[in-house]
Amino acid sequence: MSEIILHHYENSPFGQAMRLALGLKGLSWKSVTQPDICPKPDLSTLTGGYERIPVLQVGADIYCDTAVIVDALEMLKPEPSLYPEPLGFVGRMIALWSGGLWFMPAVGTALGTDPNIVSEAFWEDRATRFGMNREKFLPMVPHLVGQFNSGAELVAEALSDGREYIGGEQPGHADLMLYMNIRFVGFAGRKPSDFGAQVAAWFGRIDSIGYGDFEEWTTRQAIAQGRDIEPVGDYEVETGHGFSAGDEVSVRTESPDPATVNGTLIGLNNRQITIERIDDTAGKLHVHFPRLGQILAPA
């Protein structure tokens, strides 16, 4: 039986959002704690080199990035949906804004007050992978705090009509991604109530979702899942993208991060990239990436 496994670490905002997504879905899952800085050799055994957090594993299918993780969760258990009506899939665009344009202001707000809250090794890791050079980043903190406050005001305005959640009566992907940033700035002593009573009440409702039923696992157990279970899915490489099924390709994120994953292309459309790779330890794996934000190139 394929287990649902989340590779994450406690203080990862994106990991926090996906833990809540699993709780919202009511799914039972296995928790594998990964390091917060590279290298992450056991994770790379499964992904082929991608070391960002979180990564979802379902047997021998490996989902890199929250965009494909939420798609996988929707497929595994459609209800309750992460895109409840009436907002529906518009919630995806709000989630992308929170995890993109609004995320670095959250980082600046969280770390700028006390840059020593994280280790020097953490700063070096983020400089290599995200361009967060400490000497250049810290002078930007006042600007980033202002940007975060402006974003928080948008959240407050959206909730000002008394709605329970961003989309109405049910929580979804958008709520989880907005929540993660407001939670993250707690490292700087900011409280949800700093952004208004309605934001604080909404934050409490999201917080109460919890993580569902989970069990701690080791990386060894996760790798054994990949080795012992055949990947699933019937994929197609759509025409018009400049690639064909069976092409040897590389995938990397649109960032300074040098990590590149190589494999055989088996699925491609405007939503997702799927490659097949063979690992000496973990066996045959299908590794999934979102199309948006990834650079797909011939290997």
| Residue 101 main-chain phi, psi, to 5 deg | -60, -35
- Calpha distance 246→44 (Å, rounded): 22
8 A C-beta contact, residue 145 and residue 151: no
- Calpha distance 171→218 (Å, rounded): 31
Strand 29-33 vs strand 261-268: parallel, antiparallel, or unpaired?
unpaired
Topology classification of domain 90-207: Glutathione S-transferase Yfyf (Class Pi); Chain A, domain 2 (1.20.1050)
Taking CA atoms, 296 is separated from 85, 116, 120, 287, in Å, by: 33, 37, 32, 13
| Tokens read off for 12 | 């990862």
User: What pLDDT is recorded for position 233?
Assistant: 86
| Residue 153 main-chain phi, psi, to 5 deg | -65, -35
Domain spans in the chain, listed from the N-terminal domain onward: 90-207
| Tokens read off for 71 | 């798609």
Taking CA atoms, 152 is separated from 14, 67, 101, 125, 214, in Å, by: 18, 22, 13, 28, 31
| Tokens read off for 160 | 């000002």
Residue 28: name the closest of 8, 53, 3 by CA: 3
Model-wide pTM > 0.75: yes
How do the pLDDT tens digits run along the chain, 299 residues long? 799 999 999 999 999 999 999 999 999 999 999 999 999 999 999 999 999 999 999 999 999 999 999 999 999 999 999 999 999 999 999 999 999 999 999 999 999 889 999 999 999 999 999 999 999 999 999 999 999 999 999 999 999 999 999 999 999 999 999 999 999 999 999 999 999 999 999 999 999 999 999 999 999 999 999 999 999 989 999 999 999 999 999 999 999 999 999 999 999 999 999 999 999 999 999 999 999 999 999 99
Residue 120 neighbours by CB under 8 Å, 6+ apart: none
